Structure 1
Amino acid sequence: MAKGENGKYDDLLLSIRMKEHNFKNHIAALFALSYTTKSYDELVFAQREYYGKIKEENKYVKLLYLGDSIVAGYLYEKFCDVERKNGHVEYDIRGQFSTSEVPDYHLIEMLGILIDNSVEAQDERPQLKFFFEERDNTLIFKILNPYPYIKYEEMNTWFDLEHSSKGAKHGLGLYYVKQICQKYRANIICRNVECQGKNWIEMNLEIEKANR
């Protein structure tokens, strides 16, 4: 698995390096707008629009801050997959991923299940929010997607084997995530959160750093 994920990380690096190669051209183009626009307001609008396009093209640079090539490469591939479905990804990285009590291959499995469930819960143009935060002794991953309000008691059943085996969209995935969490003293919490005037489902995965 590591070889495959490192390959995805190499794709991320190559994409960023290619964009960096064109950075000087983009700067020149921004300055050149002053010669092709007729007013200050038109110039400001054109520069903001151009900057927005550059920012969009380079939005995954922050994945490099994660510090783990396997996890970063995997997330890059998953995010690109959402975009291939005409979806939208918003993410943030706060801190660095250090060695955890959960082996990398299990973490990849859990993140994959949580992201896939979030995307599959939406009919079209999936929206995904992903946040990583490093704290003193823990590493926190949050995956969110828009979904109707669900009672807490019903959410808990999503992680049950009996519930999963009845053909629910979540399948056996969340049950498997729960088993890994129990084995490695990790924690998975599901809750409703309000975002952009809509209800979203947040999956909060908290794992311990290694060698506490």
Structure 2
Amino acid sequence: MEGIIEVYAYIESFITSYIEFVAFYILLCGFLEYPLAKRKIFLKIAVIPAIVNCFLCFFQLSTAIQMVISNLAMLVCLEYLARISFVRIFIIYVLGYMWIMLTEVVQLPIWNLTPAGIFHGIAPIGGMIIVLLLAWFAYRYIPLRKVYEAVSRWNILMLLVIINSLLVLFMVVMYARLKTEHFISNYLIIVGIMLILIIANVGEVYHYFKQKEQQKCVQVYEEYLPIIEGLIEQVRIRQHDYHNKLQSIHALAYVYEDFESLKGALLETTEHDMLPDFEMNLLKLNMHLVSGFLFSKIRQADKEGKELHLDIEQYVIRTACTEYEVIEYLGILIDNAIEATNEGETIFAKIGSQDDKLVFEIKNPGPHLTSEFCKNIFKKGYSTKKDGEGCHGIGLYKLNRMVKEYDGKLILENVEVDQKEYISFELRI
């Protein structure tokens, strides 16, 4: 009978460790935004930490030593799968460990109702299956990437939040393992303290992200408000010129007596003024910062000997994005188009709104799109730039990720303009 119990203990240890590693890998994919099935070898790699855990049970080492060795085994295996620096994988592991410990602690009272208790019988395997399902839920519905990016920037506030949360959860789990009966009797008090900690930390994290958004907004205002003021000043000057021009037109009636002479003089005088007033049209946009941004990009292209031709289809732009986000999205597309266009060539762009979404299309001369190019263009790190030409493969990857967050669309295709092949990006967000 004892032999059967020991065999079951090894099987239980193997299965729980295997499932736990798979849960860690799912969270890893969430933090790094990897497709879940990118490397199916993880199902085989998961056997390694499971076997390590079985050996630890066989030698009956202390709980603390078992936890250290088993966590190191999982950390090394995850690093092998992710192929990133050890520092980055450690940050991800700590974040994943916090999520798994939290989901374990929440389940403890439920499994305590079973005849075998919390850490025996079906409870460990059943609990780990729930952990796996909650890891998949986090992968699908929680913006894990944003949390990882905030922590990886070594923001002091975020690090303090992570450290104090990890310490509390670790102490709770250890207390549950070593003093199970006392833990259950004080469960409500412990959970209450944890909830207070979580609410406080979530509040701090929310404040941090809110502050970052406000900083971005202020930066955009500081950069593009002077351009808007310059546009307004140009319009004022143009109005003064129009006043003088009207006086000149009025005087023509006294200078020319016959109709044909007056007609010719009028056409000659007003020919230049009948051209579209582009600056005035830009100021009609309801997003004034976007107006200043577009004006600056048109001037940038002009300085580089390229023409950026912009059509404004609707002046009232409706979108769920903030103005600084719109500027960031359009900036990626426009900068890429300017870089890919040769001197003397023309870039065509248009902006409007449809179904409460911003619609922006930009076309620049480019090669025929291959299936491989379309497949890779939105991947992180993929770039057609040569070495030394700036950032590589970040802009479109970042844009595609942000568009998905707003349930938007980013369409890539070839179009023909004046019998010349162009690459077209259409953004709907």
Q: Classify the TM-score, shorter chain.
A: 0.7 to 0.9
Contact 2:308/2:346, CA 8 A, preserved across alignment: yes
Match of 1:108 among 300, 306, 327: 327
Match of 1:74 among 277, 293, 314: 293
- Counterpart of 1:181 in structure 2 is 403
Distance 1:5-1:166 versus aligned 2 partners, 3 A rule = closer
Higher strand share: 1
4+ runs of 1 displaced by more than 4 Å? Answer: 27-36, 43-46, 165-170
How far residue 50 of structure 1 moved from its aligned partner, in angstroms, is 5.8
Number of residue pairs aligned between Structure 1 and Structure 2: 204
Give the letter for the 2:302 counterpart: E
How far residue 24 of structure 1 moved from its aligned partner, in angstroms, is 3.0
How far residue 25 of structure 1 moved from its aligned partner, in angstroms, is 3.1
Say if 2:284 is the partner of 1:65.
Answer: yes
Say if 2:424 is the partner of 1:206.
Answer: no
Contact 1:142/1:204, CA 8 A, preserved across alignment: yes
Equivalents in 2 of 1:165, 1:147: separation in Å? 12
Distance 1:14-1:140 versus aligned 2 partners, 3 A rule = same
How far residue 192 of structure 1 moved from its aligned partner, in angstroms, is 0.8
Equivalents in 2 of 1:30, 1:83: separation in Å? 33
- Counterpart of 1:51 in structure 2 is 271
Distance 1:126-1:27 versus aligned 2 partners, 3 A rule = farther
Say if 2:311 is the partner of 1:89.
Answer: no
Greater relative contact order (Cα < 8 A, sep 6+): 1
How far residue 195 of structure 1 moved from its aligned partner, in angstroms, is 1.2
How far residue 165 of structure 1 moved from its aligned partner, in angstroms, is 9.1
Contact 1:192/1:202, CA 8 A, preserved across alignment: yes
Q: Deviations over 1:42-98 (max 9, x none)?
A: x76993796246626x32321122211111111111111112223223222122113
Contact 2:309/2:348, CA 8 A, preserved across alignment: yes
Distance 1:18-1:193 versus aligned 2 partners, 3 A rule = same
Contact 1:106/1:180, CA 8 A, preserved across alignment: no
Contact 1:144/1:202, CA 8 A, preserved across alignment: yes
How far residue 149 of structure 1 moved from its aligned partner, in angstroms, is 2.3
Structure 2 residue matching 1:163: 3-state secondary structure? coil
How far residue 179 of structure 1 moved from its aligned partner, in angstroms, is 1.5
Q: Deviations over 1:24-47 (max 9, x none)?
A: 3344556888979xxx69x76993
Say if 2:346 is the partner of 1:127.
Answer: yes
Structure 1 residue matching 2:355: 3-state secondary structure? coil
Distance 1:19-1:182 versus aligned 2 partners, 3 A rule = same
How far residue 2 of structure 1 moved from its aligned partner, in angstroms, is 1.8
Q: What TM-score results when the alignment is normalised by the length of structure 2?
A: 0.42
Q: Looking at CA atoms only, which structure, 1 or 2, has the larger radius of gyration?
A: 2
User: Structure 2 stretches of 5 or more lacking a match?
Assistant: 1-219
Equivalents in 1 of 2:251, 2:381: separation in Å? 63
How far residue 109 of structure 1 moved from its aligned partner, in angstroms, is 1.3
Distance 1:198-1:66 versus aligned 2 partners, 3 A rule = same
Higher helix share: 2
Give the letter for the 1:111 counterpart: L
Q: What TM-score results when the alignment is normalised by the length of structure 1?
A: 0.79
- Counterpart of 2:25 in structure 1 is none
Distance 1:197-1:24 versus aligned 2 partners, 3 A rule = farther
- Counterpart of 2:412 in structure 1 is 190
Equivalents in 1 of 2:322, 2:252: separation in Å? 51
Equivalents in 1 of 2:371, 2:382: separation in Å? 15
Q: Deviations over 1:102-158 (max 9, x none)?
A: 232222111111111111112212422121121233220111112232235413422
Contact 2:249/2:269, CA 8 A, preserved across alignment: no
Contact 2:252/2:265, CA 8 A, preserved across alignment: no
Equivalents in 1 of 2:414, 2:269: separation in Å? 35
Give the letter for the 1:164 counterpart: S
Equivalents in 1 of 2:403, 2:331: separation in Å? 15
- Counterpart of 2:368 in structure 1 is 149
Give the letter for the 1:47 counterpart: L
Distance 1:32-1:84 versus aligned 2 partners, 3 A rule = farther
Give the letter for the 1:55 counterpart: L
Equivalents in 2 of 1:33, 1:200: separation in Å? 48
Give the letter for the 2:328 counterpart: E
- Counterpart of 1:138 in structure 2 is 357
RMSD of aligned Cα (Å): 3.2
How far residue 12 of structure 1 moved from its aligned partner, in angstroms, is 1.4
- Counterpart of 1:25 in structure 2 is 244
Equivalents in 2 of 1:74, 1:64: separation in Å? 11
